[in-house]
Amino acid sequence: MPGPPSSAYNTAVSPGARNRASRRLVVISLDGLASADYETVRGLPSFRRLLRQGALCRRMRGIYPTQTYALHATALTGARPAGHGILANSRLQPGRERPEWFWYRDAIRLPTLYDQAMEAGLSTASLFWPSAGRSGQRWVLPEILPGRLGMSLAWRVLAAGTPLFLLDMLRRYGSLLRGLDRYHLDNFTAAVAAHLARSGRVDLLLVHLLDLDAVRHREGFQGPAVQQALEQQDRRLARILEAALQPDGWKRTAVVLFGDHAFQDVHTAVNLNTALARAGFVSLDGRGRFRGWLAWANTAEGSAHLYLRDREDRSLRRRLAGWLRELRSDPRHGIEEVYRGPQLRKLGLGGEMDFVLEARPGFYFSSRLRPEVTEPAPAGTRACHGYRPDREGYTSLLMAAGAGVRAGAELEEMSILDLGPTLAALLGLSLPGAEGRVKSELLSAGAGDG
């Protein structure tokens, strides 16, 4: 797959983007912010400030699967996974207990918003933004976790990010961290975002906050700590806004805040690779450890992608298809739909996998090799995402304010495919591979001219 784009990309840049001082854009992803949160956040001071000054979309639909890394790649390219190449959070690595995620920029096949901005001479920063490691941006705090046992997280972060910048931020704000706890990580990220925004040197600032997502996974979509998590995000938002709006207020700065996905509450885990092992598609040793595979499930919680090791083996394909029909017929296995062939392209997934499973309400898929095929969802997993984006009540919020945004504009619904082109228009840019369109209804006249 190609790495960060160079001048080889046929980038379309309007004259407005070349005027570096024309407009700054801050994009904040609140992971897990859903349409159902609107009544709560409209009463919180920082969210209310955005709503009072700007525009709103109450229901932003995701793409399939509704997993964080695929969604964030769509947000910056305007394309579905078949186009940008991020098919789920994790890579296909059969037998790995903890497969690698798509941490790095080279996994994205299309030019992103920050690539286009850099081509136009703008300065960009990404803070915990998915797949931004090794992206060549001026300031990068990468989202990356330990892989295999013994692998140094500190080394991986420094290698994937901007080392001197990271060391400086740790010196200034490292006391806010408590390991990888998402609450403290978000406090650190917000402090770094405010630091960069206050400097006035960043034209495009991308910020990804994680704690709301972690709380919902742990306690359920409307769990007891969700209200408090939203209030904490409001306080972090206040810190970022205070810095971003100095010294000119909204005159030169636009802020766009969005949620990437909603959640579905769950009660049962389905260990698909355990089922595949029992059917002879995965081989194990005498102690139940992975030895080899004919078919493997790379799971995205609410959905799963099944891959054949030999895609030319028609007999194996027929055998797996028949087995999946049988597995689906038993409701205890939690399979709502099985997709294949042309259906996958229609869903925006392309043809890299062989089958896709959609989970029934209350179920989610796990790739782990466990003793049982189904088991109660473990403590700490009370809600999931990754399901089809057209489920009832399964949309997210978007709000925007400031330079180039039409104050008072309101959309009932849009697609996250439209987010990237709309963000690009705010900077006077375009996205060559985008399938979505600019939502001009949210922008003021001449916004695309910078």
Tens digits of per-residue pLDDT, 313-355?
999 999 999 999 999 999 999 999 999 999 999 999 999 999 9
* pLDDT attached to residue 448: 63
Contact status, residue 378 vs residue 269, Cβ threshold 8 Å:
yes
pLDDT at 153: 78
Read off the pLDDT of each residue in 16-27 and give the average, rounded to a whole number: 68
Cα 209 to Cα 405: distance, rounded to the nearest angstrom: 23
29: amino acid identity, one letter: S
Cα distances from 327 to residues 7, 279, 304, 313, 429, in angstroms, run: 50, 10, 14, 21, 48
Residue 239: CB atoms within 10 Å: 17
The CATH number of domain 15-263+391-449 is 3.40.720.10:
yes
Asked if residue 312 has pLDDT above 70, the reply is yes
Predicted pLDDT of residue 449: 56
Q: Taking all residues of the chain, what is their mean pLDDT, rounded to a whole number?
A: 93
pLDDT at 97: 87
Answer whether 103's CB lies under 8 Å from 126's CB: no
The alpha-carbon radius of gyration of the chain (Å, integer) is 22
Q: What is the per-residue pLDDT for 148? A: 57
| Mean pLDDT along residues 276-295 | 96
Contact 24, 252 (CB under 8 A): yes
CB atoms within 10 A of CB 175: 12
Helices (H), 131-220: 153-160, 163-173, 182-199, 211-219
Options 3.20.19, 3.10.450, 3.30.1360, 3.90.660; CATH for 265-384 is 3.30.1360
Please compute the mean of the pLDDT values over residues 246-253 and round it to a whole number: 92
Give the pLDDT confidence of 83-108 residue by residue, as tens digits: 999 999 999 999 998 899 999 999 99
- At 180, the pLDDT band (50, 70, 90 cuts) reads confident
pLDDT in tens, 380-432: 999 999 999 999 999 999 999 999 999 999 999 999 999 999 999 999 999 99
- Of the two residues 438 and 15, the one the predictor is more confident about is 438
pLDDT at residue 254 above 80? yes
Per-residue pLDDT of 155-172, as tens digits, reads 889 999 999 999 999 999
Q: How confident is the model at residue 15 (pLDDT cuts 50, 70, 90)?
A: very low
Task: List, for residues 193-238, the tens digit of each pLDDT value.
Answer: 999 999 999 999 999 999 999 999 999 999 999 999 999 999 999 9
Residue 391 DSSP code? S
User: Tell me, what's the pLDDT at 447?
Assistant: 73
- Write down the domain spans for the chain: 15-263+391-449, 265-384
**At residue 9, does pLDDT exceed 80?**
no
Q: What is the pLDDT of residue 149?
A: 52
